[in-house]
Structure 1
């Protein structure tokens, strides 16, 4: 592992430890399953995702950025702009790409079949932010590599973005609840825990909102921001009805095979409680 890899790992472990302690001390919601059962499965997906990334892209995304720089690939390598501006624009560009990637994973049926494993978690905590199917990890790597090459993003911006992306994913999945005034104030800039739990709602018109992992800018700009759910945060129904909180639905094999299911989420409803015709399968 190169120095940037160790730096990213240190950042990930630090953020994970702080947020895990926070949700143990100040939990917002009670989990329907034991922490041990959920954590061992969710964290296993981290290992599988990491191995998938290493096989698919041994050079890592930083390596892609360095290769693009060496070959003069990407818009920013043909512009004489200050380094700080190139880094800032690269961060905004990569975050925008991830926003639309996430939105398309909800919009396109075969992508949703892969992504629904993340949403099938019956409880939202720090490990949910790491629970992604290896196929989704592979697709995301290809998308990010292409975005880096198109922009000519500097390697340092890729390191910053990867740390921020992982950090925000852990942060906004953490099982804590901020005071409402603070939550509303922060929500003008970033996606808070409460806002992201709306994204994990069992109602489709709530699930298809708040796609951002970090800033709330893109959701506001593209009209996918929702500040309040139909239910209060304390009783908001999260997860997928087709995958109730059982031991059988929380094994590594079950998570890996979820994209092969052809189940309908019968709890996908509109905000007034009436079933819609746009079921997810």
Structure 2
């Protein structure tokens, strides 16, 4: 455990970038060799749009990083947060507890709010418009959504009382798991089902990308699946019944053009996804 703490306490920016790029490259290769769905699409064009949004997410996180660093430093110096209220426990238990809470607030609650608040849904809609879900879809977030998610990450760090090394560990795991559960791959169904009792698997998350309710409003988790199971938002759907996208934006002109995607939150059409605006 000390090795992990030391590494993530001093993780170079280059290593964090390599985790992001390496994950995309690994799952890109895997889904190219054995895809779950053989999409009829221009893979590189699709990737280009999604990587643009990945870069805007990185830019938002970089611009706001000072707030996260200061928050983690303050809670550490002042022994503030849930972790500091726990009795002296094994470091592995403390770390797992911290990761669970960071995932609950920073991922599950942030994601849930984007489906329940109409203004936030306008921005999150860009993620759901993708009709060709693959590993590059993981970071297909409008810059406005990236800001909202970062705010939740800061709030989670404050409430949990997470030191910066734990936040870096969580973010690294979050990136890889998001790439994993969006990747156009299929685990053996029994393995996927077994893992989904604890972790968010490809089959589980792809249900969330089905184009119709109630499946769109389910399976909000990113790393841990227990929150969906605990709060009744877990759903299953057979692989061959899943249709990606969102029912009001199925036209390629809407979901495969960068300009259109950037404008979606600011449109006021008759129907703007599953939520009234």
Please give the range of the TM-score, normalised by the shorter of the 2 chains: 0.7 to 0.9
Question: Alignment length, in residue pairs?
Answer: 266
Give TM-score scaled by structure 1 length.
Answer: 0.86
1:130 aligns with 2:136: no
Which is worse superposed, 176-185 or 108-117? 176-185
1:42 aligns with 2:53: no
Which is worse superposed, 117-126 or 9-18? 9-18
Give TM-score scaled by structure 2 length.
Answer: 0.87
- Quote the offset at 1:244 in angstroms: 2.6
Task: Quote the Cα distance in structure 2 between the aligned partners of 1:101 and 1:111.
Answer: 10
Task: Structure 2: state its 5+ residue gaps.
Answer: 1-9
Instruction: Select 2:166's aligned residue among 133, 145, 157.
Output: 157
Task: Quote the Cα distance in structure 2 between the aligned partners of 1:197 and 1:79.
Answer: 36
Task: Quote the Cα distance in structure 2 between the aligned partners of 1:132 and 1:267.
Answer: 16
SS of match in other structure, 2:38: coil
- Quote the offset at 1:59 in angstroms: 2.3
Task: Structure 1: state its 5+ residue gaps.
Answer: 269-278
1:24 aligns with 2:32: yes
Specify whether residues 244 and 32 from structure 1 end up closer, same or farther in structure 2 by C-alpha distance, changes over 3 A only.
farther
Q: What is the root-mean-square deviation of aligned Cα atoms in Å?
A: 2.3
Q: Which residue of 2 aligns with 1:114?
A: 123
**Contact 1:203-1:267 within 8 A present in 2 as well:** no
**Contact 1:191-1:214 within 8 A present in 2 as well:** yes
Q: Which residue of 2 aligns with 1:33?
A: 41
Instruction: Select 1:240's aligned residue among 246, 268, 271.
Output: 246
1:1-281 equivalence runs, <5 A? 3-55=11-63, 57-59=64-66, 61-77=68-84, 81-82=88-89, 83-97=91-105, 98-227=107-236, 229=237, 232-247=238-253, 249-263=255-269, 280=276
- Quote the offset at 1:235 in angstroms: 4.5
- Quote the offset at 1:51 in angstroms: 1.3
